[in-house]
Chains A and B, each alone.
Chain A
Amino acid sequence: MTQTAPSILLVDDDEDDIVLTRRAFERLRLGNPLQVVNDGEAAIRYMSGKAPYADRQKYPLPALILLDVKMPRKGGHEVLEWLKSEPKLKRIPVVMLTSSKDPSDVNKAYDLGVNSYLVKPLSFDGLNEIARTLNLYWIVTNERPDVAVR
């Protein structure tokens, strides 16, 4: 079964960024809520459907994952590596959305198979623009792969 209403999973530990990103996506009126988890470990639990994320109706597999790099417990690179090693999840597009411009962070993400790497914009308008573009490209335009659901 594939998801009919594509959703986006945001993995970020900064509460303010989450609120602003959520707002930016809500203004696009996509009709599907942004799912949010606050660290890498929670992201892995979410993606593998472990408690408290076992209910796939409530916590659907996303059509796109937005991943911060620097997070407590497990960072974005570790989550990315895990995702790409999971046969059932590795096709889901992952976009890094982070404040780190550090070339080593960028290169490592691409080495691990990230689909895109975006630096969090400083400006409010920039964030709205990124939300709009992400949705347009990855949700509307992009041909989505089949993702096996357990």
Chain B
Amino acid sequence: MSKTLRPRGGATRGEAPEGGGGKGAKAGAISSELLEAAPDAILGVDGEGRVRLANAQAQKMFGYPRGEMEGKHVEALMPDRFRVQHEGHRNGFFESPRPRPMGAGLELVGRRKDGSEFPVDVSLTSVETGRGRLAAAFIRDITDRKRQEDQLRLANTDLESFSHTISHDLRTPLRSMRGFSRALIEDYTDRLDATGVDYLRRIDRAGASMERLIDDLLEYSRIGRREVQTRRVPLEAAIADVLRPLAQEVALTRATVEVVRPLHEVEAEPQLLGQALANFITNALKYVPRGVAPVVRLSSEERGEWVRITVEDHGLGISAEHFAQIWKPFERLHPKGEYPGTGVGLAIVQRAVERMGGRVGVESEPGSGSRFWIELRSPRAGAP
């Protein structure tokens, strides 16, 4: 918690309007019905910091009987710890009274008559009245929103510890299961018949796919949580970095990988970009009809302030009704036996690209390949 109702700024005084309570004021431009019906608390505060006007919602929010708020110092409506600072800001506001949110990025706190505190959002503007200029504060009680935010934060912490549990505690027994099934295969194959060996291999394979699933899940959750700071990344270098570790897979599948130059630069986080591109490319290498050598084409183009990176393949293709679903975790379009995978790959791409402020998409038709694309900001777009 930190600040409260406080216009900000230096220390010059505004003209103090004369007079007692705000009631009876010739309300000038403000329609009093509108004021009373407003769902936000509205306060009019003079240059001395006294409340000249408080609508019904303000009295309700701060717990004052009708008429009692007027004439009070506005600093009475905030915890003592903010008082001095607020007086300074208030004077500053009268010096240059532009409409603005109060204490942007800070947590503002209001205090009721009974001393209890509650979180608020405040917007400020100023109004010229018959008796001088008033600072108008529009105050919203955000207790409910804060509570929801706290719950969300708690849920996120839970998720984080959950993914740590996955990474560590699930891996340990899995390592044992895989280790012993492999030990059985290696040490006892001669004492088992073909069916027995087949069963063991199935256990081993299942363990391996669970391991990949755990890795992918961890990666997916890590991308959601990590700090992302984008910078100018030349695609030439990024794509070279992605293709290097894939060289073996490319050779194994007898794939042709074509890179169309020139390549552009993008605003990206190199690791996330690399991961996204690698997932696209491994998909392009994987989803081809049996026995067909994959053809992958990488290119980039400028589209206004965006740069689109396209990974095109001549593989199986996807029908339009599946376009939305393929980006969701665990969604798979093919039976595992034919095309093994966890179904998290494209979800990772989408999350990574969104974290970099970009977007993803696909154009495809069954039988004629797919064009998966990523759009990221062009570094030139943000340049002064």
Contact (Cβ within 8 A) B176 A17 = yes
Contact (Cβ within 8 A) B179 A127 = yes
**Residues 214-258 of B contacting A (Cβ, < 8 Å):** none
Residue of A nearest to B182 (CB): A124
**Residues 166-204 of B contacting A (Cβ, < 8 Å):** 168, 171-172, 174-176, 178-180, 182-183
The CA-CA distance from A126 to B171 in the complex, in Å, is 15
The CA-CA distance from A124 to B181 in the complex, in Å, is 9
Known: A19-B180, A122-B211; 7 extra A-B contacts, CB below 8 A, are: A17-B176, A20-B176, A23-B183, A120-B175, A122-B171, A122-B174, A124-B178
A16 at interface by CB-CB < 8 Å: yes
Contact (Cβ within 8 A) B183 A99 = no
A104 at interface by CB-CB < 8 Å: no
CB contacts (< 8 Å) of B175 on chain A: these are 16-17, 120, 122
The CA-CA distance from A19 to B176 in the complex, in Å, is 10
CB contacts (< 8 Å) of A23 on chain B: these are 183
The CA-CA distance from A90 to B183 in the complex, in Å, is 36
Query: Could you list 24 examples of A-B contacts with CB < 8 Å?
Result: A16-B176, A16-B179, A16-B180, A17-B175, A19-B180, A20-B176, A20-B179, A20-B180, A20-B183, A23-B183, A99-B168, A99-B171, A99-B172, A120-B175, A122-B171, A122-B174, A122-B175, A122-B178, A122-B211, A123-B178, A124-B178, A124-B182, A124-B183, A127-B179
Residue of B nearest to A127 (CB): B179
Q: 9 closest A-B pairs (Cβ-Cβ)?
A: A16-B176, A124-B182, A20-B179, A124-B179, A122-B175, A124-B178, A23-B183, A122-B211, A99-B172
Task: Annotate A17-35 by CB proximity to B: 1 below 8 A, 0 otherwise.
Answer: 1011001000000000000
Query: Which of B171, B174, B176: most chain A Cβ within 10 A?
Result: B176
**Chain B nearest CB: distance from A123 CB in Å?**
7
The CA-CA distance from A122 to B182 in the complex, in Å, is 12
The CA-CA distance from A16 to B181 in the complex, in Å, is 12
CB contacts (< 8 Å) of A20 on chain B: these are 176, 179-180, 183
CB contacts (< 8 Å) of A55 on chain B: these are none
The CA-CA distance from A36 to B71 in the complex, in Å, is 81
The CA-CA distance from A88 to B214 in the complex, in Å, is 44
Residue of B nearest to A120 (CB): B175
CB contacts (< 8 Å) of A123 on chain B: these are 178
**Residues 111-149 of A contacting B (Cβ, < 8 Å):** 120, 122-125, 127
A14 at interface by CB-CB < 8 Å: yes
CB contacts (< 8 Å) of B179 on chain A: these are 16, 20, 124, 127
CB contacts (< 8 Å) of B171 on chain A: these are 99, 122
The CA-CA distance from A19 to B182 in the complex, in Å, is 13
**Residues 23-54 of A contacting B (Cβ, < 8 Å):** 23
The CA-CA distance from A124 to B183 in the complex, in Å, is 8
